[in-house]
């Protein structure tokens, strides 16, 4: 997850597991850059104090009131007119290398957390000047830096998961599906941990909203069994809002449709004269899958 951060002096971080007991993942280079325009009216500079080294940091803020939401993906990824606020979500202190989302950056750290950042990041940190407007490539780099900080200070799984999810969303804007799926899979680890252990709300989500997100992300990464399990929890949860249950039923139907399509595809292969019984799935197994709704 951390490849490409050598210029910041963080070359040894790439073997660090994201969650303390998980293996790291290698990144490919992200896809083509997107053009930026008309973003200036949404952005303004502001100064905040760094919770690690106390220096004054100039950061970019978004004029939220000017944003126009165009649409939202089924996993809640928002699309806005003219600008993608996700690209500006991470703030970085160029003095000590601490990086975090806007909301985390303004939270104080414990002495122990700040010491971990100083020891593992600040001691090697090489500052970098960014251009006035950020594209998806820059956003990915900044999310990676925030993931390094979160991992080093042993942030909660839900915080690491939300960073992975949002980084996955940035990859989605680049149509880099491989890296998006990697990030969503990493996000799922932390989201499931938060779901199992609580407390709620977790990252602003109640239990059924988080179950829906896990179900929908599982569907997107192709883990249909897991998706059906979590969407089923939403559908049978008496406290869940009816609109959310409706969405869960819709996403469950997509899975059922996809499973039926792959079954009929398998059946076609079986029916072609050239195919032998060796290559076809056993009938009993097919029936088992088709019951799965
Ligand atoms: Zn700092």
Cα of 201 vs centre of ligand 1, distance in Å, is 29
- Mean pLDDT over 281-287 rounds to 41
209-242 confidence digits (pLDDT tens): 999 999 999 999 999 999 999 999 999 999 999 9
Q: For 97-110, what is the mean pLDDT?
A: 96
Q: Which residues surround ligand 1, an ion (CB under 5 A)?
A: 50, 52-53, 93, 95-96, 98
State percent of the chain over pLDDT 70: 86
Domain ranges of the chain: 6-157
pLDDT tens per residue across span 171-182: 999 999 999 999
- Chain centroid to Cα 155, Å, comes to 15
What's the 49 CA to ligand 1 centre distance in angstroms?
A: 8
What pLDDT digit, counting tens, does each position of 141-167 carry?
A: 999 999 999 999 999 999 999 999 999
pTM above 0.75, yes or no: yes
Alpha-carbon distances, residue 220 vs 84, 87, 188, 213 (angstroms):
22, 22, 11, 10
Q: How many CB atoms lie within 10 A of CB 240?
A: 19
d(CA 117, CA 96): 8
Dist. CA 52 → ligand 1 center (Å): 5
> What is the C-alpha to C-alpha distance for residues 195 and 199, in angstroms, rounded to an integer?
8
Q: Ligand 1 centre and the CA of 118: distance in Å?
A: 9
C-alpha 14 to ligand 1 mean position (Å): 21
Q: How far is the CA of 218 from the centre of ligand 1 (A)?
A: 37
Residue 17 has pLDDT above 90, yes or no: no
């Amino acid at each position: 997850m951390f490849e490409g951060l050598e210029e910041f002096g963080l070359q040894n971080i790439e073997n660090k597991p994201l969650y303390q007991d998980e293996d790291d993942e290698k990144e490919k280079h992200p896809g083509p850059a997107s053009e930026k325009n008309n973003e200036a009216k949404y952005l303004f500079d502001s100064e905040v104090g760094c919770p690690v080294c106390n220096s004054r940091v100039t950061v970019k803020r978004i004029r939220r009131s000017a944003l126009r939401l165009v649409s939202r993906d089924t996993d809640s990824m928002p699309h806005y007119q003219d600008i993608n606020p996700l690209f500006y979500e991470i703030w970085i202190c160029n003095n000590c290398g601490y990086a975090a989302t806007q909301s985390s950056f303004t939270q104080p750290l414990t002495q122990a957390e700040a010491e971990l950042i100083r020891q593992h990041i600040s001691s090697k940190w090489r500052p970098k000047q960014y251009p006035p407007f950020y594209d998806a490539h820059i956003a990915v780099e900044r999310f990676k830096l925030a993931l390094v900080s979160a991992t080093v200070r042993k942030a909660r799984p839900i915080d690491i998961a939300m960073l992975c999810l949002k980084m996955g969303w940035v990859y989605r804007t680049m149509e880099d599906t491989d890296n998006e799926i990697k990030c969503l899979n990493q996000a799922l680890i932390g989201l499931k941990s938060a779901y199992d252990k609580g407390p709620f709300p977790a990252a602003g989500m109640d239990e059924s909203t988080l179950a829906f997100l896990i179900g929908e992300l599982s569907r997107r990464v192709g883990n249909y069994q897991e998706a059906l399990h979590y969407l089923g929890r939403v559908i049978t949860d008496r406290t869940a809002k009816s609109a959310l249950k409706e969405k869960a039923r819709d996403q469950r139907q997509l899975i059922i449709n996809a499973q039926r399509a792959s079954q009929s595809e398998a059946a076609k292969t079986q029916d072609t004269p050239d195919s032998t019984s060796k290559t076809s799935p056993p009938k009993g197994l097919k029936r088992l899958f088709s019951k799965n709704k």
